[in-house]
Chains A and B, each alone.
Chain A
Amino acid sequence: MEFLGLDLPSYGWETVLGSAISGVFLGSIYALVALGLTLIYGVLHIINFAHGALLMLAMYAVFFLWKFLGLDPYLAMIIVVPGAYVFGYGLQRGIIGKASHGRDEIILLVTLGVSIVIENAALFFFSASERSVLVPYDLDGIDLGVTYAVYPELIALGGSLLITFALWLFMSLTDTGKAIRAVAKERQGARLVGINVDHIFAVTFGIGTACVAAAASLLVPTYAVHPQIGYLFVLIAFTVVVLGGMGSFIGALVGGFLIGVTEQLGRLYLGESMGVITISVIFILVLLFRPTGLFGQRSG
């Protein structure tokens, strides 16, 4: 098969469909990691570079809960998610908010500094070696005909849809959710009607961190933990968020699936190592030609 002068291998439709389906599963994980990032961007208008480091930290938490308490990775969510909320709230209120003087570029650098500290602290205390959780069901699954889906993948897909929906409900129905949306739309106005903006910023950061902790629980059964894993996901999460539109939940979901499928097809046609370039290329093209993404509103 030829495409743009490149000689691409040709595959039967079963292989392509199987690849696309595994891309959907992969994409659901990307979407979940991107969800917290897009929430934080939508409200605080900051690009949180520390997001990947927080994912990695939460994955270590899940791993150690399994290792020392024998807790199932999915059950660990009950502990890790609230813990991550508190951690995120403190991080924004105590460090990021204070150090950044409200300037966007400075926030970017502060979150970069935080991510470097967290990543290297993990390297220092946990060493660079990969650690994986062994669950009894990690290879069981359903035969879909064109591909085989293991339970952890199915749970991750279901989990990401559920968590996106729950977050949407929370934002639409609760008072806190409404306050968050008010701050996102109009900071000064929200302050004038008596909303504590600094508190809401920290709450949003906390919820974003809680989302990434939920993602960590769903990831651990299929991905080994090491200090660099956050970086691997954060680049993809940025791409998903930019593609979906910064601040849009539905955009994060659709963007995640699109990136997942594109990556898998890229790997199929361009090879394992060159295939991931599709992500960088999409990232660059979207930034250049449609920085508001698919579902985003014009950003200031």
Chain B
Amino acid sequence: MTTRERILGWAFILCALALAPLFITSNRWIDFLELTLFIAVLGQGWNVLGGYGGQYSFGHAVFFGTGAYIQALLQYKLGWSPWLTLWFAISGTAAVAAMIGYLSFRYGLRGSYFALITLAFAEAFHVVSRSWSSFTEGGQGVQLTLNQDPALALVTFQFSFGGPFMKAYGFYYTIFAILLISYAATWWMEHSRFGAQLVAVRENEDAAEALGVNAFAVKMRAICLSAAITASGGVYYVQKFLFIEPGIAYGTAKSVEALFAPIIGGLGTVLGPLIGSFFIHGVGEVAKEAIHGIFGDRPGVDLILFGIILVLILAFAPRGLVGLLERVWIRLKARRDA
């Protein structure tokens, strides 16, 4: 693909995402788009570390949950403005990531061992958030007060009582803005010296070190950026639902969702997590509809399909949907030129 085709492709996708809600009248589909973009953000967070850096985290919920808890607790306990707390949520989570990364990478954990230790950290945070009730409100979770004054909608970062436009689209454009910033950051990373070094570490850490790359420093920067992106998803979640509890924050669901999108979409590509998120949620919606007609409402259908798609992608398309699309594109062009 040429650079021009890429830029045109991105312009098309972003314009479509920016304008789509204006043409959608059903709330259900706006919710669907919002959820898809939310998972695409979490997925990009995972992708920075896992896709570009080859460090597969199985506990990325630790970053989502920490971001969400900082965002919620600073408002709940200290009454700070959400516009202020979000900076603490993102930088605080990056600090937690620096601690986890320092321990894991300093002691040379790679591959499966890194996956296990991230899982263990997520579980440790889960237990603490559930048990340390005086600090985290324990298992009942943190419930923020709903602002019902339309004049304060923007100040309180709560759009459900805002004007008609804000009410309908406020949170959609919030997650869209987060997506834009995080994808731009990933794009910048991919084209920077740091990104090149990160990919070198993924391909062969020892060889990269031999060429003078400081693998430890590179991985530390990657885990902090990854955590910051994932934490911004947590900030969105808290503002949208005004609630966080240990299971949502640190349970396995978020860790798993964060890795589905980039692996299915295409590891180590900026577009991968977005395509992957759209694909799995599209498939999930269709499957839920289909099953609903036969069995009624039953949980689990979408995740069964996600798991099967994950295994199929790993087996037959290691470069994900982005890799498949590129192949199709090249073949189409070859046919046209012939």
Contacts and interface: CB of A to CB of B under 8 A. Distances in A.
B119 A235 contact: yes
Interface stretch (A119-127, A146-154, A160-168): A119-127
Contacts of B128: 274, 277
B127 interface: yes
A231 interface: yes
Nearest to B306: A116
A124 B292 CA distance: 12
Interface in A108-147: 108-110, 112-117, 119-124, 127-128
B314 A109 contact: yes
Contact of A105 (B56, B119, B298, B306): B56
Contacts of A124: 298-301, 304
Nearest to B311: A113
B130 A273 contact: yes
A238 B116 contact: yes
A280 B127 contact: yes
A274 B94 CA distance: 25
A104 B112 CA distance: 7
Interface in A213-243: 231, 235, 238-239, 242
Contact of A114 (B56, B109, B311): B311
Nearest to A41: B112
Contacts of A231: 252
Interface in A180-235: 231, 235
Interface stretch (A23-31, A81-89, A254-262, A287-295): A287-295
Contacts of B132: 274
B: interface residue count bin: 35 or more
Interface string B269-306: 00000000000000000000000000000111101101
B308 A113 contact: yes
B199 interface: no
A266 B22 CA distance: 55
Contacts of B304: 116-117, 120-121, 124
Nearest to A282: B120
A127 B312 CA distance: 26
B111 A105 contact: yes
A276 B127 contact: yes
A280 B124 CA distance: 6
Contact of B263 (A46, A47, A109, A238): A109
Interface string B108-141: 0101110111011101100110111000000100
A289 B120 contact: no
A113 B314 CA distance: 10
B123 A109 contact: no
A288 B103 contact: yes
Nearest to B54: A105
Contacts of A284: 103, 117, 120-121, 124
Given A106-B314, A113-B314, A124-B301, A281 B124 contact: yes
B307 A113 contact: yes
A116 B109 contact: no
Nearest to A278: B127
B58 interface: yes
A289 B113 CA distance: 12
14 contacts: A46-B112, A47-B112, A98-B315, A108-B115, A109-B314, A113-B307, A120-B304, A121-B300, A121-B304, A122-B300, A124-B300, A288-B107, A289-B107, A291-B113
Interface of A: 46-47, 95, 98-101, 104-106, 108-110, 112-117, 119-124, 127-128, 231, 235, 238-239, 242, 271, 273-274, 276-277, 279-281, 283-284, 287-289, 291
